[in-house]
Amino acid sequence: MPPKNLPVRPTTDMAREGLFNILTGHFDFEEISVLDLFAGTGSISLEFASRGCPHITSVDVNDRCAVFIRATAVRLGITGIRVVRANVFTFLKTEKITYDLIFADPPYDLPALATLPDTVLGTGILNTGGWLIVEHPRQIDFAEENGFFDHRRYGQVNFSFFM
């Protein structure tokens, strides 16, 4: 259970379950690399790890979040998570590793939220055939953005999918 003082809005259990039901039909978790942007409590990273994903990078600017993810991974004996404490946009400018799946759960009031898919896709770190998934509030509509191919809603949680 994460400490109450973390500045996060974790993805709901219902939304996470729905998301992983979709992903299970498209990816072999034991064969992919995952980037979790705005990782917060690391719940998405840990879910991938629990499904056998061998290479996960979790990025969050908040030191307490990064410490919590690292400590949780150690406590659970997970060795495949690399935790990076960094501003996501700074990280994206310098990252050289490529990923099969990138998940981004930014703060809903992030000023650059509307441009996030273009920013991530413009880095070239998403492998061919890979997916970018952005969690966002219902007020944001990415349907006309480059690479968009699907949208799913689970209660107040919205996921937009890009290739």
Residues linked to residue 83 through DSSP beta bridges, in sequence order = 58
Q: Closest by alpha carbon to 160, among 112, 114, 92? A: 114
Give burial (CB, 10 Å; 0-12/13-18/19+) of 163: middle
CATH code, 116: 3.40.50.150
Cα–Cα separations (whole angstroms), residue 59 to 31, 71, 91: 21, 15, 8
**Residue 145 domain flag:** yes
Least confident interval from 2-6, 50-54, 105-109: 2-6
CA–CA–CA angle 10, 115, 67 (5° rounding):
35
- pTM for the model stands at 0.92
Mean of per-residue pLDDT scores for the chain: 92
> How far does CA 99 lie from the centroid of its chain?
11
Average pLDDT rounded to a whole number, residues 150-161: 92
Question: In this predicted model, which residue has the larger pLDDT, 50 or 1?
Answer: 50
Domain count, the chain: 1
**Residue 42 domain flag:** yes
- Predicted local confidence at residue 15, as pLDDT: 85
- Predicted local confidence at residue 29, as pLDDT: 96
- Predicted local confidence at residue 13, as pLDDT: 77
What DSSP element (H or E) covers 56?
A: strand 55-60
Amino acid in the structure at residue 82: R
Amino acid in the structure at residue 123: T
**Rounded Cα distance, 95 and 22, in Å:** 27
**Residue 2 domain flag:** no
Residue indicated by tokens 């004996």 = 77
Are 86 and 63 spatial neighbours (Cβ–Cβ below 8 Å)?
A: no
Domain extent for 42: 13-20+27-162
- Token pair, residue 159, equals 């996921």
**Rounded Cα distance, 4 and 41, in Å:** 11
Q: How confident is the model at residue 7 (pLDDT cuts 50, 70, 90)?
A: low
Q: How confident is the model at residue 83 (pLDDT cuts 50, 70, 90)?
A: very high
- pLDDT digits 0-9 by tens, 91-119: 999 999 999 999 999 998 899 999 999 99
Amino acid in the structure at residue 127: N
**Residue 1 domain flag:** no
Going 86 to 87 to 90 to 93, the CA torsion angle's sign is positive
- Predicted local confidence at residue 156, as pLDDT: 85
